[in-house]
Structure 1
Amino acid sequence: MAQKQKQNTPHFVTIKGTKEGLILHLDDKCSFDQLLSELEAKLIRTPADDTTSETQKLSVNVKVGKRYLSDNQKDILRKLVYQKKHLLVDEIDSEVITKEKADELLRETEITSVSRIIRSGQVLKVQGDLLLIGDVNPGGCVMATGNIFVMGALKGMAHAGHSGRKDAVVTASLMNPTMVRIADKYVQVDKDNPTIDIIGECAFFDEGSMSVKFDRIHILHQIRPSLNRL
């Protein structure tokens, strides 16, 4: 009878070892206090490695499923793991995001459509992707945290992925820029002494050469398949 009762005892914490460290799978249906109680018990039963120094903490990835954790609860988890073992929480992975984060992700995937000419000295900056129906004149600049699509002539500067996205691209009906920048990589074109052949209607960051390259627009579906969502 006692054996049967033991088998029916729920398990809220599962610990799995990997080459990189430990993965803690925490049940997302029980209470937070139940999680802490079982996690503390399991860490106590696991023998500590006294030979591990403070500078040799083992990395721990905590997966909490569909449970939302406040910053305070995350701190409690980190402290519990840190105190009981030679462990250090590297990441707390939740499938739940806040409304603010969801709104931010939505803005990053939205396309802002603008119909105008960007003249010299003007800067157009958007969050997410930019669809410009018009020209970018010399001295003008367009910037986006995502991709930039110019249905017109790009004769000025374009900076795609300016928040750090190296997978962003720049396209234009007529590609004749003074500068194209993808994240922190750029190509500057000297009109009086051109050293770069701009062939094609798109620009992208090439991982192989670690530089911004120009090519025909039809290759985009191969190098950036995620653009098919458009």
Structure 2
Amino acid sequence: MLEKNQTITIKGTKDGLTLFIDDRESFDDVMDELAAKLSDYHPRQDEPIVPVTVKLGERYVNDQQKQQLHELIGNHKRFTIDSFDSNVIHKDEALTWKEESDVKILNRIVRSGQVLENTGDLLLIGDVNPGGKVTSTGNVFIMGNLLGIAHAGANGDQDAVIAASYMRPNQLRIADYISRAPDYDSEGVYMECGLIDDEEDKIVIDRLHVLSQKRKDISGFERRMLNG
């Protein structure tokens, strides 16, 4: 906890140092006090580099201010900023986070030659015809026939999944993994899903109910899809 009227508190942890900055003080005052504190420290050249976590509280620091902190702390060669921890983010970052975490619902058919791209999770109510493609940075849920190409986790998320009412794709992709349609005939009654099996190191296709077992962090929305 910060002491009264103290702008900066430094505490040692097993992982390095944690720097607590009073979010009520101006940034210039913070820099002045931090410079004064660091001026009294003269590390030996054989000392290990110490990672520093900067706790900002309700303060937002922009890229220029982060660079100033990096330079000030980095001038004392045995310190390096490992991370910034703030309770607030920039509006643009909040909008990006919202876009990436929302489920986008679309009602359409993806026909041959068409490509549907999405950021975040995608719920498509309709078919993906042979030669059509859907790609998303998050999960892909298709309430219809998947007969074309589906790519989930397009930015590298290997925990992403693909689910469809009828799974007979030309190709499945999750992150950098690629698979084809299952070798058995699907009945088209139970929803199926494709996900990366860590033990087999490949995409496997299974009944949708395995998601709650293999993806413990499955969201409430996805659970409602599972349970009807």
Q: Settle same-fold status: TM greater than 0.5.
A: yes
After TM superposition, the score normalised by the length of structure 1 is 0.83
**Partner-residue secondary structure (3-state), 2:32:** helix
Q: Distance in 1 between matches of 2:199 and 2:9?
A: 41
Runs of 4+ in structure 1 off by over 4 angstroms are 196-200
CA RMSD in angstroms comes to 2.3
Q: How many residues align?
A: 215
Whether 2:201 is the aligned partner of 1:210: answer yes
- Structure 1 residue 121, shift from structure 2 partner: 1.6
**Quick check: 116-125 or 142-151, which moved more?**
116-125
Whether 2:38 is the aligned partner of 1:38: answer no
The match for 1:179 among 171, 174, 190 is 171
Report the counterpart of residue 17 of structure 1 in structure 2.
Answer: 12
Q: Distance in 2 between matches of 1:157 and 1:228?
A: 24
Q: CA 1:87–1:197 in structure 2 vs 1: closer, same or farther (change >3 Å)?
A: farther
**Which AA in structure 2 matches 1:111?**
V
Q: Deviations over 1:181-223 (max 9, x none)?
A: 111122134xxxx7x5587601112333332222211121233
Q: Distance in 2 between matches of 1:60 and 1:109?
A: 29
Q: Deviations over 1:164-184 (max 9, x none)?
A: 222221100111112111111
After TM superposition, the score normalised by the length of structure 2 is 0.84
Report the counterpart of residue 214 of structure 2 in structure 1.
Answer: 223
- Structure 1 residue 58, shift from structure 2 partner: 2.7
Report the counterpart of residue 57 of structure 2 in structure 1.
Answer: 65
Larger Cα-atom Rg: 1
Q: Distance in 2 between matches of 1:143 and 1:149?
A: 11
The match for 1:163 among 150, 155, 168 is 155
Report the counterpart of residue 140 of structure 2 in structure 1.
Answer: 148
Unaligned runs of 5+ residues in structure 2 are: 222-228
The match for 2:22 among 4, 17, 27 is 27
How is 1:43-122 mapped onto 2 (pairs within 5 angstroms)?
Answer: 43-52=38-47, 57-122=49-114
Percent of paired sites with the same residue: 44
Q: Distance in 1 between matches of 2:103 and 2:45?
A: 55
Q: Distance in 2 between matches of 1:92 and 1:46?
A: 22
Q: Distance in 2 between matches of 1:9 and 1:64?
A: 16
**Which AA in structure 2 matches 1:25?**
F
Q: Distance in 2 between matches of 1:45 and 1:207?
A: 50
- Structure 1 residue 9, shift from structure 2 partner: 6.2
Q: Distance in 2 between matches of 1:24 and 1:185?
A: 41
